[in-house]
Chains A and B, each alone.
Chain A
Amino acid sequence: MDFLFEVVGDALSSLAGFGGELRRVIGLTLVVSLLATAMGVTIGVPLGAWIGLGRTRVRTAWLVAVNIGMGMPPVVAGLALLLLIWDTGPLGGLGLLFTPSAMVAAQTLLAIPIAAGVTAGAIKGLPSSASEQLAALSLSGWQRGRVVLVEVWPGVLAAVAAAFGRVSSEVGAVLVVGGNIVGETRVLTTAIVQETRQANFGDALALAIVLIVLAAIINGFLTWMQLRDTRRA
């Protein structure tokens, strides 16, 4: 038990000495995660709506792809992107290797299928009378998408929360394409791995506490929006 008390004590003192490096890590974590969530949702939610609104073969193929993507191990996605942006790879000229941009790109790839899958699931869960009515209205594709996304709005918020949860908790992809470079591409999850490997458990726990608090704040906000909306509907 003494060991655990010691670690917690170290963690608290390390939090008390909240320094510039920690601030930078938190800032980069927020920027990368929120940007990736935003981009993943911007692409994934409309994709999910498109998949959810029809039953053609192309859409079914996309649904399968999205479901596979939802279970994609982050480190594999990171590796795939790494091969593309490696100096001598096909996109090597972009100079993305070991940059925050590469980390955002990797996490966006992870967020898209989650956002699309949760959205498509919410739409497919609508009663058959809703899809029949929607088809009966003969709206344009855009109008249909808008009506149905408003209809499943709590589901869209769940998609946002799931996408954020995915990107803020993953470590494999950002580690592979970002490289965990101090002051450049180190984020909370990679820093936790680093500190743990060096047996700096107090610092690792301090970072973990920060990560959990950030996740709680953002998910709390999304939950509040969901509840507010459910009350209104």
Chain B
Amino acid sequence: MREKLDLRFPADGSVLSIQGLEIRPGDRLVVFGPNGSGKSTLLRLMAGTLSGGPALDSTYLPQHPYLFRGSAGFNMGLGLTTEEAVRARYLADRIGVGDLLEYEASSLSGGEAQRLTLARALAKRRPWVLLDEPLSAQDERDRFEIAALINSEIGDRGAVIITHDRQEAAFLGNRMAVLVGGRVLQEGPVGEVFSLPASDEVAAAVGIGNVIDGEAVDGEGPLTALRAGEMTIWGVGDVNRGQPARAVFGAEAVTLFRGREGAAGSARNRWVGTVTEFRDLGRLVEVVIDVGSRVVALVTPGSQEVLQLGPGAKVTLTVKATAVRVNLR
């Protein structure tokens, strides 16, 4: 069932040239990259709406969903078997468009149209799920809930999901490929690509961030606490206790202090760790700290000297809980 894809488009590979991109069942591959990097072309080739690709046996959500004349319900049922339509109906309810099915499709907003077509695409039982920016038209407050639903609906199928949003990438994927100028610059587990970008180009494209997996252990108002090994991370999110969760925060959100104590402050997250690695990114320095899990921080070369952060140095890290997003994994 695994597929190793070699894709060139057009034949000279000027738009897209990819060798040996592997996709497998149970794997959610996020393709991340700037506008015009060839992401949608890649997905269209996989789906077969653009000829010259593998045309996988797939269900595919295009980047710009289009509803045809007729009711929303008519559109949702297009191309589905009876059983799939029942599933789509259930998903539409979960996703907040179940009460719109009687209306003319043209009366739906862009966000509603995207949800409706997403429900249809997820309900279709095909071994591969291809989603082009499935959350692009959604409000911030709904995105994480819908992301969790997408993950559970993909289940053990293989998925390729396109996004140019870091948090979406972190919450939708377990593997990530960075596409720039039609070429895959880096591919690996999402957390690894974010925290250890293979090149400056990748770092520039994805930013540097922390993606840490654990289990939700506590909640308080809008916050959820996640336990990953020795580490407890507080962040914004609503995950029930005992469920697998993932915390995401940028490397620039991490403040470093020398020694075990560090300065007092309002930051909810406060960890002590050992510096293991430096990577000079030009104008900034990436510092990798072992806190039980690996955390990356970005500092300027000046503050690195001030802090005297040699490998093996003990440091205290603080991150505001509001800078961390926690979601169901």
Beta-carbon contacts of A134-149 to B below 8 Å, as 1s and 0s?
A: 1111110001000100
B60-68, B193-201, B240-248, B281-289: which lies at the interface: B60-68
| A233 lies within 8 A of chain B by Cβ | yes
By beta carbon, the residue of chain B nearest A136 is B60
| A19 lies within 8 A of chain B by Cβ | no
Partner of A127, one of B47, B49, B66, B70: B66
Q: How far is the CA of A153 from the CA of B106 in the complex (A)?
A: 15
B49:A135 contact, CB within 8 angstroms: yes
Partner of B61, one of A130, A136, A138, A233: A136
A132:B68 contact, CB within 8 angstroms: no
Q: How far is the CB of B317 from chain A (nearest CB, A)?
A: 45
A151:B62 contact, CB within 8 angstroms: no
Within 8 A of A (CB), among B68-96: 68-70, 78-79
B78:A139 contact, CB within 8 angstroms: yes
A147:B68 contact, CB within 8 angstroms: yes
| B44 lies within 8 A of chain A by Cβ | yes
Residues of B within 8 A of A88 (CB): none
Q: How far is the CA of A233 from the CA of B79 in the complex (A)?
A: 22
- Taking chain B's interface residues, is the majority helix, strand, or loop, or is none over half, making it mixed? loop
Q: How far is the CB of A215 from chain B (nearest CB, A)?
A: 29
Q: How far is the CA of A132 from the CA of B40 in the complex (A)?
A: 11
Tally of chain B residues near chain A (CB < 8 A): 19
Residues of A within 8 A of B60 (CB): 136
| A133 lies within 8 A of chain B by Cβ | yes
Contact A150-B65, Cβ < 8 Å, known A135-B49, A139-B79: no
Residues of B within 8 A of A130 (CB): 66, 68
Contact A133-B62, Cβ < 8 Å, known A139-B79, A147-B78: yes
Of listed B61, B66, B70, B104, residue having the most chain A CB within 10 A: B66
Within 8 A of A (CB), among B26-69: 44, 47-49, 60-62, 64-66, 68-69
A136:B69 contact, CB within 8 angstroms: no
Of listed A133, A135, A136, A143, residue having the most chain B CB within 10 A: A136
Q: How far is the CB of A191 from chain B (nearest CB, A)?
A: 43
Residues of B within 8 A of A136 (CB): 47, 49, 60-62, 121
Within 8 A of B (CB), among A192-233: 232-233
Q: How far is the CB of B305 from chain A (nearest CB, A)?
A: 53
A132:B69 contact, CB within 8 angstroms: no
Q: How far is the CA of A136 from the CA of B55 in the complex (A)?
A: 11
Q: How far is the CB of A169 from chain B (nearest CB, A)?
A: 31
By beta carbon, the residue of chain B nearest A133 is B66
Q: How far is the CB of B271 from chain A (nearest CB, A)?
A: 45
Some 16 contacts from A to B, beta carbons below 8 A apart, are A127-B66, A129-B62, A129-B64, A129-B65, A132-B49, A133-B64, A133-B65, A133-B117, A134-B66, A134-B68, A136-B60, A136-B121, A138-B79, A143-B79, A147-B78, A151-B69
Residues on B lying within 8 angstroms of A by beta carbon are 44, 47-49, 60-62, 64-66, 68-70, 78-79, 104, 106, 117, 121
Residues on A lying within 8 angstroms of B by beta carbon are 127, 129-130, 132-139, 143, 147, 150-151, 153, 232-233
Q: A133-B64, A139-B79, A150-B68 are in contact. List 17 more A-B contacts (CB 8 A).
A: A127-B66, A129-B65, A129-B66, A132-B62, A133-B65, A133-B68, A133-B117, A135-B47, A135-B48, A136-B47, A136-B61, A136-B62, A137-B78, A137-B79, A138-B79, A147-B68, A147-B78
